[in-house]
Structure 1
């Protein structure tokens, strides 16, 4: 009898536990998000553009984002492997509408409990930031 109660208790606790981090649902890399960017041509890494993106990141993004660690917002390292180039650029350019309509952006808003601020970044600057993130992620 005691054994049956113990087994039931263990099963009940297991059913109530949080799912493993690996089971976290990721938006497919093919999602382009919501915004003006529908297509991005990616080639070899443009070092000059990446340098411009690094400066922009330090000026406009680093108050909330770090490269290697979770902060107010998610760590940026690996973003180019988790998300499509269009999604990254649309999130930078159009963060409010993205968090209202894009499933992945909604999930991130729920996780971090902070709306990404619109920094009035245009497509050219967003492309430079993307290039910097590609450099951080090891693109060549």
Structure 2
């Protein structure tokens, strides 16, 4: 009984976090800058990423805000898996380029990357497109690094 309630709660949270598509569809971009921004967010594979040492605290703060708003419904910072995998140790298991592409280009990753496909088989829920830009994803990685104990 408890397991059924937990699964239903997680599914409800997931569906709630994916809402708003109707509003986005009703208000299409009308200028070139909005179209360009959309193209920057998705579809371009990131080939290289430069990490800071020490951590950039402004990026950590921005990354945590993005996590709180868009990621925490499915991912936990502790070792527990919710809908998606836990973020504990993610920066030691995955390369930064892999992480940023998974955040910004989830469709491409699920199509081409064997590890991403394995995660989908384990989690049984496809990661939704959260419209996170490359710059925002870079901040999320900085927050992940802090969560993994980097200074």
TM-score, normalisation: structure 2: 0.68
CA root-mean-square deviation: 1.2
- CA deviation map 1:81-108 (0-9, x unaligned): 0000000000000112211210000000
Secondary structure of the structure 2 residue equivalent to 1:128: helix
1:62 corresponds, among 62, 72, 79, to: 72
Query: Which position in structure 2 is the counterpart of 1:25?
Result: none
- CA deviation map 1:54-110 (0-9, x unaligned): 000010011111111100000001100000000000000011221121000000000
Structure 2: state its 5+ residue gaps. Answer: 1-42
Distance apart, 1:35 and its partner CA: 5.1
After TM superposition, the structure 1 = structure 2 runs for residues 34-45 of structure 1, keeping only pairs within 5 Å, are 36-44=45-53, 45=55
Alpha-carbon separation, structure 1, partners of 2:45 and 2:133: 10
TM-score, normalisation: structure 1: 0.74
Does the 8 Å CA contact 1:96/1:115 hold for their aligned counterparts?
A: no
> How many residue pairs were aligned?
107
Does the 8 Å CA contact 1:76/1:133 hold for their aligned counterparts?
A: yes
Does the 8 Å CA contact 1:77/1:137 hold for their aligned counterparts?
A: yes
Structure 1: state its 5+ residue gaps. Answer: 1-33
After TM superposition, the structure 1 = structure 2 runs for residues 1-140 of structure 1, keeping only pairs within 5 Å, are 36-44=45-53, 45-68=55-78, 69-140=80-151
Higher helix share: 2
